[in-house]
Amino acid sequence: MKDSTPRFDYISTADLPTQHGKFKIHGFVEVESNQEHVALSYGDWSEDDTVLIRVHSECLTGDALYSTRCDCGFQLERALKNIVDKGRGVLLYLRQEGRGIGLLNKIKAYNLQDTGLDTVEANEHLGFDADLRDYSICQYMLDKLNVQKVSLMTNNPKKIAALESMGINVVERLAIDHGITDDNKGYIKTKTQKLGHEFDPHLLK
């Protein structure tokens, strides 16, 4: 007998004024795990429109605490600005801290990186895969927001493959090479060499 229990659920929508512009925030939950995620939308579109989006995994240290160890906070800020400049778009904010290992394990991984391991080696030393993120809720979120075709801001080809495997039409990829610092350049080089991320090589010299 087929399990009819829904995997995901939509909760509510509210206005969310930000320093970039007035967004709407939409709440979603993964039913089995009770993990909560949000989407921020700006502007209006029809089902046939190509919508600018960013799929952003939570990074407390970068997004909220302004860490320069990674480029996450810089990319989040740039994505919101790009959406407002475009006049419409969506940011999917997924609660997948530390590429899926959680905040406290990410701090452990940071400690290992302080001793000389790179970000992939640190995760693997802790017994995790290099990237444990799951993008399956993205289809549900985009369907609820009436988005079928996207212009995706990412440097990660795996996000493109994940969305396309769900039937989302990724019309184009837009690089988001923002926030490269002396503190995170090695981290970004590792993501490029070991995780397949695509960055302008001139920015990493």
145-184 tens-digit pLDDT: 999 999 999 999 989 999 999 999 999 999 998 888 889 8
CATH number for 44-96+133-204: choose from 3.40.50.10990, 3.20.20.300, 3.40.50.1970, 3.40.50.300. Answer: 3.40.50.10990
**Residue-range domain boundaries for the chain:** 44-96+133-204
Q: Which comes out higher in pLDDT, residue 200 or 129?
A: 129
Tell the burial category of 104 from Cβ atoms under 10 Å away from its Cβ (0-12, 13-18, 19+). exposed
Of the pLDDT bands very low, low, confident and very high (cuts 50, 70, 90), residue 130 is confident
- What is the rounded CA–CA span in Å between residue 4 and residue 96? 26
Task: Please tell me the predicted confidence (pLDDT) of residue 203.
Answer: 67
Of the pLDDT bands very low, low, confident and very high (cuts 50, 70, 90), residue 76 is very high
The string of pLDDT tens digits covering residues 77-88 is 999 999 999 999
Of the listed ranges 91-95, 106-110, 140-144, 193-197, the least confidently predicted one is 193-197
Exposure b/e, 105-135, CB count within 10 A at least 16 = b: bbebbbebbeeebbbbbbbeeeebebbebeb
- What is the rounded CA–CA span in Å between residue 45 and residue 192? 34
Average model confidence (pLDDT) across the chain? 92
Of the pLDDT bands very low, low, confident and very high (cuts 50, 70, 90), residue 3 is low
The string of pLDDT tens digits covering residues 23-73 is 999 999 999 999 999 999 999 999 999 999 999 999 999 999 999 999 999
Task: Please tell me the predicted confidence (pLDDT) of residue 179.
Answer: 84
Of the pLDDT bands very low, low, confident and very high (cuts 50, 70, 90), residue 1 is very low
Active site residue 133: yes
Catalytic pick among 63, 131, 173, 183: 131
Catalytic pick among 71, 99, 133, 182: 133
Q: How many CB atoms within 10 Å of residue 53?
A: 29
- What is the rounded CA–CA span in Å between residue 46 and residue 30? 27
Q: Is the pLDDT of residue 118 over 50?
A: yes
Task: Please tell me the predicted confidence (pLDDT) of residue 134.
Answer: 92
